[in-house]
A = this chain, B = another copy of it.
């Protein structure tokens, strides 16, 4: 696989006479790709209906003739101010019923039909003009869906759309009432028009109501994206991409991915550590300038699957950012490490964000490869180093994984809706399982919930799946490795109610969850042999063998040779012991990697990444802090 570097660039921010020099400088820095255009609607169409392409024509030409391939973005994340005059009701509305106003970005409601048509129009116009442009080698649609919590809107447009969606799904109010159990508190509806959005209710709304709204909302993101994808495909054969974010679970990325060619994501390791990851104060301090050692890998593995094998990093943090609660500089070396880690996980291209630090507006304190005064920022040299290393390192082949983790967005909605324990979170649980696999040094694939084929894997984890899909259940029935299902898996119906007989329904495995407990952060369930469960514990019954018990004698892991159920949420050390034991049982070589040391094997090489702020030994090699080491396998 050919690996390349790229950059995000905003020609509209700079005088045209600077573009040529910038382009030459980019090429000199080892960059091959340049992404442009995604926030420039006001420059393309300052006056409604009057398109101004000349500057963009010239920008693409300057960049392309310098040897760069262009990723052209549709600017639909930033509708111009005049759009609001046309559609005053296009703004999203938050759960507190406040319209989310113009003045930043993403100020649109995914449900609004008028705005969706405008997006179709601008995509068509851009496709017509640039679809066949030889320098435009890829397209990005919109930018960071759901960023700033924009998937869910409680607007009139959303309410009308939701009512239609419900009518389509349930056909009759009576069927909906039955499916949701509206008899419970006399919540029955006589018509779909009576059904409001599930915000601001006196106490919690029916969880089935909320889950339906979450499904509806995800579907709007999928539909919004598809409108543009369909339009662009009429005019271009270049690959279509969206740039996802980290730890966003509000829409089904698998479904958006189905309509695109490549999945990319925006990787801000230090910002994400600070603003969206659990962890002890000590962990946060240790990785303050590196990011969490598993966060990037998780998303590389997730989006590689969402991209059906094709992965990019569309935005790579190069220095301090502006948007996290605290914004320290990365350790020297991290801008290189992050890029190599992405490549080791299958990324084709890593684009740094951004070329020159903008001196104005919201992100003026966000570092680029250049400072605002056009002098090199620290990451520029690391970028050049990676480019040189790519040139030297032979193709390392495609990785294969021994372990797999099933990840399902609808389950995240289900547990958001019905956490039952205040700190229960589907991503957190999946990430805990992922981290344990990765501390064991395994290559991991992340699989969609309707995955129908597990062959090739030895170890499969499926934590927190609301309901096991039929294809997955069939694949599990055929699976000859060990699948560790749970906790909290397959215990609900598709409508987020409790099935009878009680779940999980594991092929040829007699066990049920008969009672569920959540416990506070400081509480623990002690296990035989010294481990502990935290947060969550399910009481299991059935005739299946018990592999591990709690100190009080209740099943902790139960099941057959191939399918087992994990009854609680192990802490990290316990998860390590469980995964280690399973690897031993499977004759799968595994590690207990030191803090911050992580490995990834491609077909030909083993890559070693040291996220720790100190040098660490790997075999006979000393890997420096923020260092990358590779060795042939």
Contact = CB atoms under 8 A, between A and B. Distances in A.
A41 to B, nearest CB: 5
A106 B181 CA distance: 18
Interface in A3-19: 10, 12-13
Interface stretch (A91-99, A382-390, A452-460): A91-99
> Could you say how many copies of this chain the assembly holds?
3
Interface in A195-249: 196, 198-209
Interface stretch (A258-266, A317-325, A436-444): A317-325
Interface residues of A, number: 106
Contact of A325 (B80, B373, B520): B520
A300 interface: no
Nearest to A375: B514
Interface stretch (A27-35, A335-343, A358-366, A578-586): A358-366
Interface in A396-450: 418, 420-422
Prevailing SS type, chain A contact patch: loop
Given A326-B422, A364-B498, A80 B206 contact: no
Given A184-B363, A288-B523, A421-B326, A202 B81 contact: no
Contact of A373 (B418, B500, B519): B500
A125 to B, nearest CB: 15
Contacts of A98: 96-97, 200
A392 interface: no
B327 A518 contact: yes
A260 B114 CA distance: 55
A190 B84 CA distance: 12
Most buried by B among A96, A203, A281: A203
Interface string A362-385: 111101000111010110000000
A180 interface: yes
A182 interface: yes
A391 B360 CA distance: 59
A499 interface: yes
B200 A99 contact: yes
A239 to B, nearest CB: 25
Which among A46, A284, A359 has the greatest number of chain B C-beta atoms within 10 A? A359
Interface in A262-315: 274, 281, 284-285, 288
A105 B203 contact: yes
Given A41-B186, A104-B204, A106-B203, A328 B518 contact: yes
Contacts of A281: 522
A212 to B, nearest CB: 12
A198 B103 CA distance: 7
Nearest to A78: B186
A360 B100 contact: no
A168 B372 CA distance: 30
Contact of A101 (B200, B206, B365): B200
A505 B46 CA distance: 37
A82 interface: yes
A39 interface: yes
A150 interface: yes
A516 B514 CA distance: 55
A500 B364 CA distance: 13
A180 B360 contact: yes
A501 interface: yes
Nearest to A536: B326
Contacts of A393: none
B498 A185 contact: no
B520 A284 contact: yes
A181 B358 contact: yes
A75 interface: yes
Given A196-B103, A201-B107, A327 B186 contact: no
Contacts of A205: 103-104, 362
Q: Which of A201, A209, A502 has the most CB of B within 10 A?
A: A201
A204 B107 contact: no
Q: Nearest 5 A-B pairs (CB), nearest first?
A: A181-B360, A184-B361, A42-B186, A359-B498, A78-B186
21 contacts: A42-B182, A42-B188, A81-B187, A81-B188, A81-B190, A100-B202, A101-B201, A102-B196, A102-B201, A104-B206, A106-B202, A183-B361, A205-B362, A206-B361, A206-B362, A285-B520, A285-B522, A288-B520, A322-B420, A329-B515, A359-B500
Interface of A: 10, 12-13, 39-43, 46, 75, 78-82, 92, 96-107, 147-148, 150, 180-190, 194, 196, 198-209, 274, 281, 284-285, 288, 319-320, 322, 325-329, 357-365, 367, 371-373, 375, 377-378, 418, 420-422, 495, 497-502, 514-520, 522-523, 539
